[in-house]
Chains A and B, each alone.
Chain A
Amino acid sequence: MKQHTLSVLVENRAGVLSRVTGLFSRRGFNIESLAVGTCEEEGTSRITIVVFGDDREVEQVIKQLNKLIDVIKVSDLTERARVERELALIKVSADPGGTRAEVMQIATIFRSQVIDVGSKTVTLEVTGDSDKIDALQRLLVPYGIRELYRTGRIAVLRGQKTVKSEK
């Protein structure tokens, strides 16, 4: 059992996301992370899905995804050299006279931006792989995380290769 990162290119049609997610729940797969957005080609979207399962199960998921008419291509990036990123927005308690300076310091170490300031909070934006965001999150817990938003993970192959150009 391990995490698999799948990149799914789909026709951008009504219902396509529910087809994809419905398939996962129907076949008993848990989606750990899901990110959807348009991509370089008009009319298509790319869905990046992280699933947990053994190779045989994930192979079955890929085959079932491929059967969906609106799915153009499924690529398993798991064993590939790739860059993965997630983005998080974290609203954390930070009193001007108290912990704010420490929070800002931590933010700097993680190269995260302060994107908003409230009277008793700051909001940080951080990108990175999941581990980095997990680490930041852990460090901020003692200060009081008011709200946390994480996007799903997205991934891209390293170098010249694109998932689209591959067979």
Chain B
Amino acid sequence: MKTGAKVLIEGLLRQGTKTIFGYPGGVVLPIYDVLYDSPLQHILVRHEQAAAHAADGYARASGRVGVCLATSGPGACNLVTGIATAYMDSIPVVALTGQVPTSLLGNDAFQESDIHGITMPITKHNYLVTRAEDLPQVIAEAFYIASTGRPGPVLIDLPKDVSTGEVPDEIEFPTSVNLRGYQPTVKGHPRQIERAAELLTKAERPLLYVGGGTILSGAEQELLALAERLGAPVTTTLMGLGAICGDHPLNLGMLGMHGTAYANYAVTECDLLVAIGARFDDRVTGRIETFAPNAQVIHIDVDPAEIGKNKSVDVPIVGDVRHVLAQLISRLPAGSKTGPWLARIDQWRAIHPLTIRDDGLLHPQYVVRTLSELLDGEGVIVSEVGQNQMWAAQHFCFKKPRSWITSGGLGTMGYGLPAAMGACFARPGEQVVLIAGDGSLQMNIQEFGTIAQYRIPVKVVVLNNGFLGMVRQWQELFYEHRYAYTELPPVNFVGIARAYGIDGMVVEECGEVREALRTAIAHDGPFVVDVHVEREENVFPMVPAGAAINEMIGSRL
């Protein structure tokens, strides 16, 4: 006989899991005891939220399922923000939580919380296991559900007696999963493909609007082929950055609230909008009634519920983006007639480029651009949330999918540092650089402990403005400069890093930026660069909340 805990770890190994992020506690002791001499690598974080974000960062950087583990009650509850973050961005994570023994369930036992109920609205699916012999099936299902269709987090709640319960040694692990209530559509419907191909062939001003689904589906080659065959410009959402090479002539960069002016104008002027693995989020569309007002819309998504949810579409195509694009390409004649359209976009591009001031002051955008030059598209950039995130999105030239990791849908401050740790385990040997704000960094700064303990080679670049910058920007623009509770007192980040045993340096002059970043990149191990940037810099262009996306401020119109 063997224990449920043993079956659990065996199940994880069978799923190909190599690393899990976790934090122990009473009811998961049986699991930790098995981990003690298991080939599975367990990374001890300093807060369970970080375990969830690290698993998420691991998943985004690798394309594989990330796994985290926490004890019952407070441990499980601390995972919640991380699970919600993964859910909003459709990231495959399996979260394991300990639970009080089944005999005590519902008794308000010590450290009992109904994490199954709590996470129902923020997981793709979840399980409360009540018998050890169910574990092989549950684990197989959890990984299958997390990683297929529209990916997402799955939680497995494991009462202590399930972990200690005994099952026969020869218990079988399923090799495939078939759930009749879950049959994701992969191929696009031929009739819709036909109609889409017709529209694409006719369009004079097509625009591909590309979201994170394209990256999740691994469709970058098909996207490139489609764009080039049609001569269609491509704009990406925050989550779609990297789906097309940043310096490809057809790439217009990001659209939406902080998108490029030329991408937003292109949306307004296009006659055919092809949404590819994107979901018409309000940060992208602005006022939805005025989004792509002149266009017919083709919407490709693996999740039928996204199609028609926010914007009515002319051609809905449910299916995996990679398959659908391949189907489409084979039906399109070569040769494009988009010359005049591209010329028009290039004019906008020339008039409204993304600029940074060259006045000798230390502008945060300059830091991002310099980093972009030094890395030249290699490695992984992770961001926190706020201005730092938008500057990274705007000014870093992403050249490959999965080179950009950020909390888009939930906008979770404190996501970046632990996600960067996860990315390091997913992509050993590659540069992983976190672009952080001083506010966000302090939301999970305890993870310096984890980084130091395992010598996780994250490079942290703090765009330190002494403000909750993005909120301050809104206060400046929309609340008459009334900076209510958004100023942060100076923090000695390098001092904190050193206290944990991590090296770092402060940068206060524009002229020092390049050298400091070089030092960080060359450094063997984690490193913190605390850059004291212009304090009241704003992110522009900006579409005010609820405005049409061609109504931007901060872009000379």
Judge whether B305 is part of the interface by a CB distance below 8 angstroms. Answer: yes
Judge whether B179 is part of the interface by a CB distance below 8 angstroms. Answer: yes
Question: Chain B's nearest CB lies how many Å from the CB of A5?
Answer: 20
Main secondary structure of the interface of B (DSSP, over half): mixed
Main secondary structure of the interface of A (DSSP, over half): helix
Q: How many angstroms from the CA of A14 to the CA of B182 in the assembled complex?
A: 17
**Contact A66 B304, beta carbon cutoff 8 Å:** yes
**Contact B116 A15, beta carbon cutoff 8 Å:** yes
Question: Chain B's nearest CB lies how many Å from the CB of A18?
Answer: 7
List of B residues within 8 angstroms of A1 by Cβ: none
List of B residues within 8 angstroms of A14 by Cβ: 128
**Contact B305 A22, beta carbon cutoff 8 Å:** no
20 further A-B contacts with Cβ under 8 Å, apart from A22-B120, A66-B304, are: A10-B181, A14-B128, A15-B120, A15-B128, A18-B120, A23-B121, A26-B121, A56-B308, A60-B305, A60-B309, A63-B304, A64-B305, A66-B305, A67-B303, A69-B124, A69-B125, A70-B181, A71-B181, A72-B180, A72-B181
Judge whether B117 is part of the interface by a CB distance below 8 angstroms. Answer: yes
A: contact size bracket: 20 to 34
Q: How many angstroms from the CA of A19 to the CA of B121 in the assembled complex?
A: 8
Judge whether B145 is part of the interface by a CB distance below 8 angstroms. Answer: yes
Q: How many angstroms from the CA of A7 to the CA of B377 in the assembled complex?
A: 51
Q: What are 11 residue pairs bridging A and B, where the CB atoms are less than 8 Å apart in the complex?
A: A10-B181, A15-B116, A18-B120, A19-B120, A63-B305, A64-B305, A67-B305, A68-B125, A71-B181, A72-B180, A72-B181
List of B residues within 8 angstroms of A11 by Cβ: 181
Question: Chain A's nearest CB lies how many Å from the CB of B384?
Answer: 28
From A23, A26, A59, A69, give the contact of B181 (CB < 8 A). A69
Q: How many angstroms from the CA of A17 to the CA of B243 in the assembled complex?
A: 39
> What's the A-B contact tally at a CB cutoff of 8 Å?
38
Q: Taking CB as reference atom, which chain A residue is nearest B303? A: A67
**Contact B121 A68, beta carbon cutoff 8 Å:** no
Contacts from A to B (Cβ < 8 Å): 10-11, 14-15, 18-19, 22-23, 26, 56, 59-60, 63-64, 66-72
Q: Taking CB as reference atom, which chain A residue is nearest B152? A: A67
List of B residues within 8 angstroms of A68 by Cβ: 125, 181
Q: How many angstroms from the CA of A19 to the CA of B125 in the assembled complex?
A: 10
Question: Which B residues between 57 and 86 are near A, CB-CB below 8 angstroms?
Answer: none
List of B residues within 8 angstroms of A60 by Cβ: 305, 308-309
Question: Chain B's nearest CB lies how many Å from the CB of A51?
Answer: 16
Q: Which of B121, B124, B181, B303 has the most CB of A within 10 A?
A: B181
